[in-house]
Structure 1
Amino acid sequence: MGVQAEIEFPVIEFRSADLERGTDGWHRLCKRVREACETFGCFEVAYKKISTEVREETFGLMKELIEVPVERKQKNASPMPYHGWVGPCNQVSLLYEGFGLGDASNYDSVKSFAQLMWPDGHPRFCNTIHTMATQIEELNKLIWLMLIDSYGLGEKWESVMINYKTLVRFMKYMAPPPGEYERGLFAHTDKPVSTIICDDHVSGLEIEVNDGQWIKLSLSPSSFCFVVGDPLKAWSNGRLKAVNHRVMMSGDKDRLSLAAFAIPVEGTIIKAPRELIDEQHPQLYKDFNFMDFFLFAFSDPAKHIDSGEQLQAFASLSPPISN
């Protein structure tokens, strides 16, 4: 799994035999997923339901997207942070370029995006990306259900499951100059509820496992990386870890990556289920509107707060306790 240091990063295979809810295999899987998210804040999931063919087709289409003229790329605009096109820049990285496609499991949304990028609307792009986004959304909901069941909330899963839409970002990280090891994306915790990442097998994604200790992940061809975001940490009353991660580039190959972010629908309040609050686990965060937090995280005041501390600054019910 290409991990530096002796830390064993969790790789969890989602076999169809274990995905029947309520079975012994399901409960074992739920426990492994929860423990990985509590310890690391992410894990590699081997999930063969999304075919290699769809993945390869997706990355082939992303290469076509990267070649679109800049004047068309600029039409992928949004008032929401990181929901539109971002070209290479000092604020993010000179190696980074990314596009945003909101509500990506909605075919009309994909079609509208494609019509901005290509005069003919590129039907093959629409069909493939819609399939990919829909299947990733299904995987994300499956992982959320595992977490809900693992915390004993299965009977009320419908009331604690967050209603969301999937924002897909298509990202390219350019290879750095020969012999260099350069930042492709700055270290941060995710502000959406959760993220599923897949790449074209050019490594670069790194996670912080201890203070200042980073490990590089190399996902296998049928794998994805599930990442806990700040709102999911708040939902779990601090049990789940929002992992600090970054992209660091070396070598002579560009890296393509697709990230699917869970963006709650407007008006969603993030709050911990009462079953996760007790004397041993007092409530850590106030209930908050997701969009208020999301916009705060990208505001001028928040720029002076470490990304991993923004949730604490915005929603903590008590000052941080020093170790």
Structure 2
Amino acid sequence: MASTKVKIPTIDFSNEELKPNTPLWESTKIQLFEALQEYGCIEAILYDKNLNEIREGLFDFSKKLFEFPLETKMKNISEVQYHIGYIGQIPHLPSYESLGIPDFLAPQSVENFANIFWPHGNHEFCNLVKSYASSLLKLDQIIKRMILENLGLEKHINELLDNFALFRFSHYKGSLSINKDENDKYDGLSAHTDNNFLTFIAQNQVNGLQINKNGEWINATISPNSFVVLSGDSFKAWTNGRLHSPLHRVEMPKEGDRLSLQFNTLSKPGHFIEAPKELVDEKHPLLFKPYEMLGLLNYVASNAGTPNAFQAYCGV
């Protein structure tokens, strides 16, 4: 049973006065860093009428995507070896399906994804994805800049912004639709940490995301104008343990399908993640060996179910 009393920290990024070197920026960046240290996540408020309409449009398209035949969905594969593409038909996670657009910042990546489902293209869908991702990419840049300013490492900003980006649609069927009516709830997605730098999650009005804090599960119930932002293993390693990468899961109720939109930033293939020397000293010995993302993902995929596979792979 998840706690309804404890809530994840909320930070408002909507204020037009939120600009570098202003009092609001300075106070917000401290609040952000403390939240990511303690919880590893925040509820990020980003109120924008146009963005809300784009998000609702994507949820409508998401429903249509998962209605396509399995044969069509399985054509969603990636040339980039990051285990990106269609995920589903997992016996112990019968409710879960996911579709991914790999490196959607690359030319034609969104169009190539759309052509799987609409052979003659779908301009409306492509424009919605690009507009939505553009807004979140700006928020990703703000959060990373604030983190680096807290650490006094602004000179590394280009390194952290030169990322591979992933857009993912996820669908969780309500338990009644898969004959799971013997329980009120069941796992839509097992407990795990994210391997990337940051994850931005928007969900429809069916909640289910839960964050673990000190062994207690917290319901991530957010407003329609908000995103859950999770700090991942890559940031934990890069900051030499200063940021927390939280366990999280999706627990589904009986009724109502859950849809989520996920935006992830992770290091590019071939780039090694390593804590800057400024973050390693006698009080803060090196916690993680340098590693390349593909090696980590291959290890995690081949050791599914291993407790804390990230620590086992690159921990010192």
Alignment pair present for 1:111 and 2:111: yes
Pairing 1:208–2:218 present: no
Report deviation, 1:176. 0.6
- What is the identity, as a one-letter code, of the residue corresponding to 1:110? V
Going from structure 1 to structure 2, the CA distance change for 1:159 and 1:76 (only over 3 Å counts) comes to closer
- Give me the whole-angstrom Cα distance separating, in 1, the residues matched to 2:4 and 2:255: 24
CA contact (8 A) 2:192 2:248 kept: yes
Where 2:304 maps in the other structure, the secondary structure is: helix
Which residue number corresponds to residue 245 of structure 1? Answer: 248
1 CA distance for matches of 2:270 and 2:82? 18
Q: Which residue of structure 1 aligns with residue 55 of structure 2?
A: 55
Work out which of the residue numbers 287, 293, 313 in structure 2 matches 1:284. Answer: 287
Counterparts of 1:148-187 in structure 2, within 5 Å, are 148-154=148-154, 156-177=155-176, 178=181, 180-187=184-191
Contact 1:169-1:258 at 8 Å conserved across structures: yes
Residues 195 and 229 of structure 1 are in contact (CA less than 8 Å); yes or no, is this contact kept in structure 2? yes
After TM superposition, list the pairs within 5 Å mapping 1:289-308 onto structure 2.
289-299=292-302, 302-303=303-304, 305-306=306-307
Instruction: Report the CA distance between 1:133 and its aligned residue.
Output: 1.6
After superposition, the C-alpha distances for 1:221-251 in whole angstroms (9 at most, x for unaligned) are 1100111111110001001111000000004
SS of 2:108's equivalent? helix
1:89 aligns with 2:93: no
Distance in 2 between residues matched to 1:4 and 1:304, nearest whole Å = 25
Structure 2 contact 83–297 (Cα < 8 Å) conserved = no
SS at match of 1:284: coil
The letter for the 2-side match of 1:37 is L
Query: Which secondary structure does the structure 1 equivalent of 2:230 belong to?
Result: strand
Map of 2:66 onto structure 1: 66
The amino acid across from 2:187 in the alignment is R
Deviation at 1:253, TM superposition (A): 0.7
Q: Return the letter of the residue paired with 1:150.
A: N
Deviation digits for residues 179-222 of structure 1, max 9, x if unmatched? 521110010001122211111121000011112x1111111011
Match of 1:29 in 2: 28
State the SS of the aligned residue for 2:265. Answer: strand
Structure 1: how far apart are the matches of 2:157 and 2:246?
26
Asked whether the 8 Å contact 2:168–2:263 carries over to 1, the reply is yes
Alpha-carbon offset, residue 62 of structure 1: 0.8
1:123 maps to amino acid: H
Which deviates further from its counterpart, 167-176 or 263-272?
263-272
Q: How many residues align?
A: 308
2:266 to 252, 259, 263: 263
SS in 1 for 2:175: coil
Structure 1 unpaired stretches of 5+: 318-323
CA distance in 2, matches of 1:224, 1:203: 12
Cα distance in 2 for residues equivalent to 1:248 and 1:182: 6
TM-score with structure 1 setting the length: 0.90
- For residue 321 of structure 1, what is the aligned residue in structure 2? none
**What's the offset of the Cα at 1:99?**
0.4
Work out the CA distance in 2 between the residues paired with 1:72 and 1:22: 50
User: Partners of 1:56 and 1:8 in 2: how far apart?
Assistant: 25
Q: What is the identity percentage for the equivalent residue pairs of Structure 1 and Structure 2?
A: 33
Query: Which amino acid counterpart does residue 95 of structure 2 have in structure 1?
Result: L
Post-superposition shift, 1:18? 4.4
Q: TM-score, normalised by structure 2?
A: 0.92
SS of the equivalent of 1:16 reads: coil
Q: Considering only aligned residues, what root-mean-square deviation do their CA atoms show, in Å? A: 1.8
3-state SS, counterpart of residue 12 of structure 1: strand
2:43 is matched with 44
Structure 2 contact 96–172 (Cα < 8 Å) conserved: yes
Check the 8 A contact 2:51/2:132 in 1, yes or no: no
Residues 163, 264 of structure 1: 8 Å contact kept: yes
Q: Distance in 2 between matches of 1:290 and 1:63?
A: 31
Q: Which deviates more from structure 2 when the two are superposed, residues 69-78 or residues 254-263?
A: 69-78
Specify the SS of the correspondent of 1:43: strand
